[in-house]
Each structure stands twice: as structure tokens, then as C-alpha cells.
Structure 1
Amino acid sequence: MIYPIVAYGDPILRKETRFIEQGELDLKEISDNMFETMYNANGVGLASPQVGLNIRLFVVDGTPFTEEDEDDEDEDPDPSLVDFKKVFVNPEILDQDGEEWGFDEGCLSIPGIRGEVFRPERVRIRYRDLEWNEHEEVYEGVAARIIQHEYDHLLGKLFIDYLPTLKKQFIKKKLTDISKGKVDADYRMKFALRR
């Protein structure tokens, strides 16, 4: 099932999510629906608040980035994205380190807006998989960035929070329009403030 993606302006995007208890939800069904929703919107990551769920879960699939690299003969595929399709249940970032680097980020909840965000190059994360096994892993490069972006959603943070003040002022009207439903997106969205 494809969920509508919650648009900027909905309070759920600014709330910290709650941890999931083992066996309380059908996480396989929820994550399958989230993957379907993400693919429908051409995303590489999707966090539960973006589909209206106040739980600590996100899904990722870096395949679109590796396909872009294949099209560009001068570009080697990012090794961090090979087989990078995962479900993160109750994730906790334990450490972020390495040099901060900039990348042009966007968000399915904020269509049509992008901006350069600086994030550390490495992340160490503990999470559970769908079988409730605990993992602790280190990710680098674009995979680390995707994880940090989606993890921020679980804390009520958005990529626009990292943008310089001038850029925030520049996009203020666009953000207001998105929150009111005045936006073109190729996927179904849910608006809190539609008038």
C-alpha cells in the first residue's frame, strides 16, 4: 500500500518518535508499505513520521545513487551504497565522526526545495532488524548521509534546519506554500494546513 507523504507543516514532522516494543506492530507490513511509498516517490530513504507514524523506524535503499554513477562513466559507484537496502528499527546513532562534507539534500516532505547540508562522513548506529536482532554498524559516505538524514526525522529535525539563515529566508514563502498544499509533487501528499 502506498501511503500519502506528510508535507512540511504537519506537527508530526517536528515530534520526537517513540521506541517500538517487540511484537507490538506488524513491522514487515509497515516497512514493505514504506518501501513501496518511497519507490513511488523516487526517494532513497523514508522515515515513519513522513507517513504519519510516530514510531522509531526508517527504510533506505541507495540503489538509485549507484544507477546514476553507472550512467556517468567518470564516476565510480560509491561502495557504501552496494546492497544498501535496509530497515532500521529503534535506531540510535552512537557516534558521528570524520570530516564534515557538503551535499545537496532534498526531502520527500518538502518537494521542490534542496540545499547544501554538511554532515560528518562516518556514523556508528545501533538498531534492530525486522527479526528483532540487534546490530551495531559503521557507515561512511553517502550511506552515512542517508542514515543521518532519516535519523533526524525521528528526532523531529529536517534538513532545512541546517541551512544558512539567508537560504532559510529565501525559501520561507515556498515552505508556507507547501504547508498549505500549494505544491506540485508526482506523488500523493497529506497536508495539515490545507486551506
Structure 2
Amino acid sequence: MVQPILLLGDPRLYENSSPVSQEDLPNLRRTVEDLHDTLMAFREKYHAGRAIAAPQIGVPKRLIYMYIDRPVVFLNPTLEFPDPERMELLDDCMSFPGLLVKVERYRRCTVRCRDLDWRECRFTFEDDLSELIQHEYDHLDGILATMRAVDKRSLFFKPASR
């Protein structure tokens, strides 16, 4: 079911999420369905959106849902950065549609996590997918892209589409 996305300023977006336990798995399947439905509805409305973190729909668990060419669920992800190379880019967020934030992120990252079958997983991402997973991971720690702005002049409105 499509859930409301918490918007910039909602105090729940700034909270740390709790780890997922194996006992949580039966209840999380519904959350994953809600994340999928919410992401697809956002895509239909805004023509954007590749991933969403559970805290964005008010579920304070360490869960990220990504859908690029297939669904991927990250439970209790941890990030590692294999090298110091960084990139600067304009970041957007479902919690503040229409706003872009200039941030700096690592160009490459490795994610270690569990899946919905509680198997350990490892993924390596570069460039835009590395930025994406870092952005969603920040949501799990109550950090928004606005808090990572490179300076005080790093907020921009997206031009309205006609």
C-alpha cells in the first residue's frame, strides 16, 4: 500500500533507526511491499526515484529498498569505502521533491547487509549508484542531504516541468 512520505522538517526523519532482527522478518515483508508501492507511486508522479529508506515512510528500521532493474532489499547495511576518491553532485530526495542539494560523496562503496532470507550479501557500487546507496544509508542515521550541503549556497529548486 502506498504510504505517505515524511517531508523535510518531520522530526522522525532525524532519528536513528533500529537494527532489523531475524524475528522482525515476517512483519517486514509488508513494509517492503509498502516501500515498493510508495516508490512506484513517486516515480509515476515525479518521474524520479530509484530507492527509498524505511524511515521515509515512518518505519524506524535499518532497511533500504532499491528498484533499478529488479528489487533489492538491504537489511542492516554497513558501508565501506575502498578508496578516498569523492565526487560532487546535485542530490535530490523524495522527502523534499523539487529541491536539489550540492553534496560530496564517495565515488565507490561496498555494502554489506542481509536480505529477506537473512543471508549475508555484499554489493559494490560506483558513481550514481554509490551516491544513491550513501544517500539512503544516511536516512537510517537520521541524516538528510540538506545536512551534507557543501556550503550555504548549495540548495537549488528544480525547474518546474511544464
Query: 1:163: Cα distance to partner?
Result: 1.2
Kept in 1, the 8 Å contact 2:54–2:62? The answer is yes
Q: What does 1:74-89 align with in structure 2 at a 5 Å threshold?
A: 83=69, 85-89=71-75
Instruction: Name the SS of the counterpart of 1:167 in structure 2.
Output: coil
More contact order relative to length (CA 8 Å, sep ≥ 6): 1
Partner of 1:16: 16
Instruction: Name the SS of the counterpart of 2:118 in structure 1.
Output: coil
1:39 & 1:49 partners in 2: Cα distance? 17
Q: Which runs of 5+ in 1 are unaligned?
A: 63-82, 175-195
Query: 1:57: Cα distance to partner?
Result: 0.3
Kept in 2, the 8 Å contact 1:84–1:143? The answer is no
Kept in 2, the 8 Å contact 1:58–1:151? The answer is yes
1:60 aligns with 2:46: no
Number of equivalenced pairs: 151
Partner of 1:103: 89
1:139 & 1:122 partners in 2: Cα distance? 6
1:165 & 1:103 partners in 2: Cα distance? 13
From 63, 79, 98, the counterpart of 1:112: 98
1:141 aligns with 2:142: no
Which string of whole-angstrom CA distances, capped at 9 and with x for unpartnered residues, describes residues 26-53 of structure 1? Answer: 2222112101101111211111110001
- Give the 4+ runs in structure 1 shifted more than 3 A: none
Q: TM-score, normalised by structure 1?
A: 0.71
Partner of 1:30: 31
Tell me which structure has the larger Cα radius of gyration.
1
CA distance 1:144–1:84, change in 2 (3 Å): farther
1:40 aligns with 2:46: no
Query: How many percent identity over aligned positions?
Result: 32
Aligned alpha-carbon RMSD (Å): 1.9
CA distance 1:24–1:41, change in 2 (3 Å): same
Partner of 1:155: 141
Which string of whole-angstrom CA distances, capped at 9 and with x for unpartnered residues, describes residues 118-140 of structure 1? Answer: 21111111101011101122211
Partner of 2:160: none
